[in-house]
């Protein structure tokens, strides 16, 4: 029972991370496309300025839960996916350094270099996360000892690449909607226009990804056994359809909330489809890393659950306060404050 609870919490933590850091990564990816001037780019960076590093806490939490609750899955994942995970880490470091260094020297060339650092450091994590999760959904080539029998190119298969493109576009839409909330004038109009153009592309891509999921993975087995679980697929589809309506009404907070619901639904759809496997083996299902053979002891999981029930609400309450405090739009006047990027 505890293993199942932690498996679901593991999926929820990833969903929270994708919601919160997803729009950061989307804004960074869109920097050269929506930022027509240095002022535009500063507004874009400052729209995520008070939040981006706090959002990454959820990545650390999701990784920490993998380590503490399912140490065997952590060991297999971090050895088998070592190269993409290191690329992900370096990209996130480049993004953080770019944000902090950009405003240190008053030179257009200097700022241009760090703008590209922020773009690459945002695009690459979105792509790698999509490729990694698509491959996990499909199954990794793990042998009987849990050793990954492949390399980086093994992960760049059609389904993995489709997952990467899906994540990049999902986060780009999420980031564009966040910009419509936090900006005004021409930049807000450009972000709104981009969200309108991305919507039909996302509809086609999500539909294609679902078809590819049926072809390449065994995720639907749990849903065919328990059809009530299909509500997890209905939720993101409904959110996607309502999203276009709210974009048309220019109700940006509601639209961003629907985008968050869509990301949550898609993540949980994949995670529940995996159950009880954490890392399915494409070589032999018996070699899969599951909650049964990867979980920590009952005592460890019990202590962890007590700690999580105390501290996760505290972290969530702090982030709610942070978002409420900095919920206003970023204006040119805001850029003159100390600490602005």
Integer Cα distance of 47 and 123 in angstroms: 17
Looking at residue 122, what is its pLDDT? 95
Lowest mean pLDDT among 97-101, 232-236, 268-272, 299-303: 232-236
Integer Cα distance of 267 and 262 in angstroms: 9
Give the residue-averaged pLDDT of 142-165.
Answer: 91
Residues 188-214 pLDDT 10s: 999 999 999 999 999 999 999 999 999
- Looking at the chain, the whole-number percentage of residues with pLDDT higher than 90 is 74
For 139, residues 6+ apart whose C-beta sits below 8 A from its C-beta are: 217, 218, 280, 281, 282, 288
Looking at residue 333, what is its pLDDT? 82
> At residue 316, does pLDDT exceed 80?
yes
Looking at residue 1, what is its pLDDT? 84
C-alpha dihedral (77, 79, 83, 87), degrees to nearest 10: 60
> At residue 338, does pLDDT exceed 80?
no
Query: pLDDT band at residue 78, thresholds of 50, 70 and 90?
Result: confident
CA angle centred on 184, ends 42 and 172, rounded to 5° = 65
Looking at residue 230, what is its pLDDT? 86
Integer Cα distance of 98 and 121 in angstroms: 8
Looking at residue 104, what is its pLDDT? 87
> At residue 60, does pLDDT exceed 80?
yes
> At residue 339, does pLDDT exceed 80?
no
Looking at residue 305, what is its pLDDT? 92
Closest of 37, 49, 50, 28 to residue 120, by C-alpha: 28
> At residue 183, does pLDDT exceed 80?
yes
> At residue 337, does pLDDT exceed 80?
no
Give the residue-averaged pLDDT of 108-123.
Answer: 94
Give the residue-averaged pLDDT of 288-316.
Answer: 92
Torsion angles phi and psi, residue 185, rounded to 5: 70, -145
> At residue 116, does pLDDT exceed 90?
yes
Looking at residue 334, what is its pLDDT? 80
Q: What is the mean pLDDT of the chain?
A: 92
Contact between 114 and 135 under an 8 Å Cβ cutoff? The reply is: no
Query: pLDDT band at residue 290, thresholds of 50, 70 and 90?
Result: very high
């Amino acid at each position: 029972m505890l293993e199942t609870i932690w498996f679901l919490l593991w999926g929820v933590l990833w969903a929270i991370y994708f919601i919160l850091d997803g729009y950061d990564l989307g804004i960074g990816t869109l920097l050269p496309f929506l930022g027509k001037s240095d002022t535009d780019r500063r507004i874009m960076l400052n729209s995520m300025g008070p939040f981006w590093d706090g959002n990454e806490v959820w990545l650390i939490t999701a990784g920490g839960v993998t380590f503490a609750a399912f140490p065997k899955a952590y060991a297999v994942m971090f050895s088998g996916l070592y190269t993409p995970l290191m690329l992900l880490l370096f990209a996130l470091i480049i993004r953080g350094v770019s944000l902090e260094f950009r405003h240190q020297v008053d030179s257009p060339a200097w700022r241009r270099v760090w703008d590209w650092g922020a773009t690459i450091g945002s695009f690459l994590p979105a792509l790698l996360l999509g490729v990694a999760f698509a491959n996990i959904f499909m199954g990794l080539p793990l042998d009987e000892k849990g050793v990954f029998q492949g390399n980086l190119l093994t992960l760049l298969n059609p389904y993995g690449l489709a997952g990467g493109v899906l994540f990049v576009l999902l986060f780009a839409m999420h980031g564009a909607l966040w910009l419509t909330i936090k900006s005004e004038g021409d930049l807000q109009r450009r972000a709104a226009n981009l969200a309108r153009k991305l919507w039909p592309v996302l509809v086609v891509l999500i539909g294609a990804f679902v078809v590819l999921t049926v072809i390449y993975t065994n995720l639907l087995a749990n849903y065919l056994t328990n059809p009530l679980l299909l509500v997890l697929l209905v939720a993101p589809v409904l959110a996607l359809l309502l999203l276009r309506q709210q974009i048309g009404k220019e109700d940006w907070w509601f639209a961003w909330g629907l985008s968050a619901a869509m990301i949550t639904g898609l993540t949980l759809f994949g995670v529940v489809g995996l159950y009880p496997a954490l890392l399915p083996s494409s070589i032999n299902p018996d070699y899969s890393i599951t909650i049964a053979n990867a979980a920590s002891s009952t005592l460890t999981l019990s202590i962890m659950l007590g700690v999580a029930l105390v501290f996760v609400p505290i972290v969530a309450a702090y982030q709610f306060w942070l978002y409420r405090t900095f919920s206003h739009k970023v204006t040119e006047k805001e850029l003159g404050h100390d600490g602005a990027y």
